[in-house]
Amino acid sequence: MKLDLRPLSLPDVMLVHAGRFSDRRGYFAETYVRRDFVAAGIVNDFIQDNQSGSTTPGTVRGLHFQVPPYAQAKLIRVLRGRVLDVVIDLRRSSPAYGQHLTVELKESDDQLFVPAGFAHGFCTLEPDTLVVYKVDKVYSAAHDRGINWADPDLGVRWPIKESEAVLSDKDRILPRLCELETPFH
């Protein structure tokens, strides 16, 4: 299957469309075939699959990343519901450092590829949203970091008010970007 890659406004972040085969029963999709991704230039060796379920619209997860040597690339897909997905460039050498992009993901054949060196998070837009993502490094609590999702310097236009967000205690106290020493150069 040939992948359709669409570059987005931040360098190296792409929307990936794998396509599906439909018939009267429904559809079948090959959402990840390593050789097809490698042929398309995404050579990451994904080694762990993660899944999150969020019951309430307005649930915010993020903005997360891991520092080297456990920095993660991610391949994100929504199985049910919709999210506003947010990506922040944390690479100091990038002309887009500190800039963000947003993309709405929903149950479809679209996946978002986020390389290492970016913070990632999302806000659920529908109840009972399921998100799955592949990562190319295992989770490491010692290397886990984040940026406060509501940092006004980021300029992200979230679909909810800060007071209405459903957050983990950890995400509620993440630092702002200006307080972060990025390890990505």
Tens digit of each residue's pLDDT, the chain (185 residues): 678 999 999 999 999 998 888 999 999 989 999 999 999 999 999 999 999 999 999 999 999 999 999 999 999 999 999 999 999 999 999 999 999 999 999 998 899 999 999 999 999 999 999 999 999 999 999 999 999 999 999 999 999 999 999 999 999 999 999 999 889 98
What contacts 132, CB < 8 A, 6 or more positions away?
49, 50, 51, 76, 77, 78, 79
Buried b (16+ CB within 10 A) or exposed e, 74-110: bbbbbeebbbbbbbbbbbeebebebebbbbebeeeeb
d(CA 125, CA 82): 5
pLDDT at residue number 1: 64
Instruction: Assess contact for 28 and 109: CB atoms under 8 A.
Output: no
- Residue 20's pLDDT is what? 87
Q: Identify the pLDDT of residue 109.
A: 84
Please report the pLDDT score of residue 92 as a whole number.
Answer: 94
The pair of three-digit structure tokens given for residue 78, joined into one six-digit string = 């929504």
Side chain identity, residue 112: L
Using the structure block, give the residue that is written with the tokens 């529908």: 126
**38 φ/ψ angles, rounded to the nearest 5 degrees:** -60, -45
Tokens representing 9 are 């406004």
Cα(26)–Cα(182) distance, integer angstroms: 45
Neighbours of 124 (CB within 10 A): 27
Which residues belong to the active site?
64, 133
Note the pTM of the prediction, 2 decimals. Answer: 0.95
For residue 141, the 8-state DSSP code is G
d(CA 92, CA 97): 6
Q: State whether the Cα torsion 130-133-139-143 is positive or negative.
A: negative
